[in-house]
Structure 1
């Protein structure tokens, strides 16, 4: 009986990754610290980072604390000195009380003790990793976060993708690839946001090595049956275009579901520019100006930067240039042009839809009288 075919397991080229993070170990890639300083640093929405929720909880913990913060911290220091057991609730409270670097240093010592005492108790346990990352996020302590997440003695403490994602978001322009390596080495499962961050990091590095890494990660994800988000795929397409890998860019773009976003619209234009499909390019712009102008139909919006590239491409063809200039004017009249560059569109912080959902789910009927609530009451 013939054996079933199984794709060979691909291994992420960690040597290529390290060469990007640590110059001199081989490879021609640049480090994250050399990324443009204007790069967008935050790619995650607040309903993932949950910084506001964390800060609200900090206020609540401080208000409900029996005694003073100083007394609480001193008691924990004594427990460390006397090798007493650290309780889960004590660590959770401590992380919500931290307001300075000194506080975080104490928290780190407590984390080491707590993990040493509980490293074998993982099932159903509270995940402290994201909580510590939110604390570091709030206090701009990326170095402390990176130090702990890489520490061999804390293996298992940061066992969730959220911890790594938040740290990669913090370090987006100054070392996030090192976190990606660590996540891979610790066999932490990637989720949708991890792939977005990973591809964005590779896009910002924009080197042959980072293109290889992005391609490998993407192929591994597809083999595993992962569904990559449109946003992650857009970063992969943009990187392929920047590396003049046109066939790869076309292939990835063709697999994007619902490519109607402003980013997809502009990436499609860039693909046609690199493909020298000038007539089709003009037809796309013409359709955008002459299409259905109903306010219920999503309209294509083009980046000024991308349109400049179109003009450069058609300037040697007088007939197409004249048509383009006419269409360019119409696009401006109809408000179809944005000043944002393609890079700015790719690296924007997406809006958080959570607040809208909460508003829609608010009660409109009184639990006591079963009568409709006043509009002014439930809308607040």
Structure 2
């Protein structure tokens, strides 16, 4: 569907539902209605793991610096405060700034010290970006580790720090921290600010787009739904590769807002329809549209254990319990005894063969994304340099942990 097509179709469906009083299949659900994919919003979560964001690297380096300064932390802080208060505008040296960032604690004095040093460091280099240590990401990792979203936002929008955080990973860290604290509108606002900057010439950075769509999904209002459509279709027009996570958040929000038609249109963009989230969302969307005849073959296909990628031990083909309940409701509403009997037979087979998961779709699509290793060594090196700029000691335990196994089953949810 061409750019703007989803928005036009959505507006038509919305207008129709308002005029006809259509039910759940076409009309807008109240935001507080509990739907198969709607989150309770209890307990905020990261979208990206600490390892993927480089926060684990920061933590390791922090432990080393704390050990080095275990008896002289207060003296060091006093010296740095004196430098900032000096009328001679004394320089902030790279190593001092590194140490201050890794010694910082969750208190106003330390936050003010680091931000003050950042402003001095930024001004003394006159906007130079080559040959200068890139501190933006490591300062953001400090904010992330210490859970300081308010200080982070102030620093990100400070005119005195213009250009300091001009790295996509810095914005990703900022947005992930805001998401963790349930500051979903701020996530969207920061993404739109990033779009205006066009860092590296990119308008829709993949990981930041993921966070913005996740924020729209969490807000779960008609306004956030339309904002999602704007981001989704804009990224398509721009040529951004849409991941399963992009599609899942957008489809789930459409479904929560009572637009299963739009949900199906969005799901049609998926390159692999057998992915866990994509398959469950398709089943839910079809059930909402009372297209039971189209749902049952999908469920029946899960029982074909002769296909390797459909076996539950492979971890990819499961049906969520909430999805099953929605299908059961739709089947019973048909009153068709043959369909009800066929569904009952399939449901017993799914239950008996362990294909029904007690987890929710929300749990799955909001699970933290791990940083996955690339098969291309050169790309892996370039990616690590971009993702972990301003972090030292690359041989971290987080990398060793990923090599030893990492979190399974999230490759399709990048």
Normalised-by-shorter TM-score class: 0.7 to 0.9
Aligned equivalent of 1:61: 65
Aligned equivalent of 1:214: 228
Q: Note if 1:86 corresponds to 2:92.
A: yes
Contact 2:137 2:169 survives alignment (8 Å): yes
Aligned equivalent of 1:304: 321
* TM-score computed with the length of structure 2 as normaliser: 0.73
Larger radius of gyration: 1
Contact 1:40 1:348 survives alignment (8 Å): no
Whole-Å Cα distance in 2 between the matches of residues 226 and 150 of structure 1?
27
Which runs of structure 2 are paired with 1:1-380 in the superposition (5 Å)? 36-38=40-42, 40-65=44-69, 68-82=72-86, 83-101=89-107, 102-172=109-179, 173-174=182-183, 175-188=186-199, 189=202, 190-292=204-306, 294=308, 298=314, 300-315=317-332, 316-351=335-370, 353=372, 355=400, 358-359=403-404
Residue 39 and residue 265 in structure 1: after superposition, are their counterparts in 2 closer, same or farther (change >3 A)?
Answer: farther
Q: In structure 1, list runs of 5 or more residues that go unmatched.
A: 1-6, 9-28, 361-380
Residue 359 and residue 304 in structure 1: after superposition, are their counterparts in 2 closer, same or farther (change >3 A)?
Answer: closer
CA RMSD of aligned residues (A): 2.7
Whole-Å Cα distance in 2 between the matches of residues 36 and 357 of structure 1?
31
Whole-Å Cα distance in 2 between the matches of residues 211 and 295 of structure 1?
33
Q: How much has 1:307 moved relative to structure 2?
A: 0.7
Contact 2:66 2:103 survives alignment (8 Å): yes
Q: How much has 1:226 moved relative to structure 2?
A: 1.7
Q: In structure 2, list runs of 5 or more residues that go unmatched.
A: 5-29, 32-38, 373-398, 406-414
Q: How much has 1:355 moved relative to structure 2?
A: 4.4
Whole-Å Cα distance in 1 between the matches of residues 304 and 239 of structure 2?
40
Kindly provide the CA deviation profile for residues 169-219 of structure 1, in whole angstroms up to 9, marking residues without a partner as x.
122122423322332344444422111101111111122222222222222
Larger RCO: 1 or 2 (CA < 8 Å, sep 6+) = 2
Whole-Å Cα distance in 2 between the matches of residues 87 and 293 of structure 1?
61
Q: Which aligned segments of 4 or more residues in structure 1 are displaced greater than 6 angstroms?
A: none
Kindly provide the CA deviation profile for residues 245-292 of structure 1, in whole angstroms up to 9, marking residues without a partner as x.
334322221121223221112011012213322112111111212342
Contact 2:260 2:286 survives alignment (8 Å): no
Whole-Å Cα distance in 2 between the matches of residues 130 and 257 of structure 1?
33
Contact 1:119 1:156 survives alignment (8 Å): no
* TM-score computed with the length of structure 1 as normaliser: 0.79
Q: How much has 1:356 moved relative to structure 2?
A: 6.2
Whole-Å Cα distance in 2 between the matches of residues 147 and 309 of structure 1?
45
SS at the partner of 2:302? Answer: helix
Whole-Å Cα distance in 2 between the matches of residues 268 and 296 of structure 1?
17
Contact 1:41 1:171 survives alignment (8 Å): no
Contact 1:233 1:256 survives alignment (8 Å): yes
Aligned equivalent of 1:13: none
Q: How much has 1:84 moved relative to structure 2?
A: 0.4
Q: How much has 1:301 moved relative to structure 2?
A: 0.4
Aligned residue-pair number: 330
Whole-Å Cα distance in 2 between the matches of residues 264 and 40 of structure 1?
23
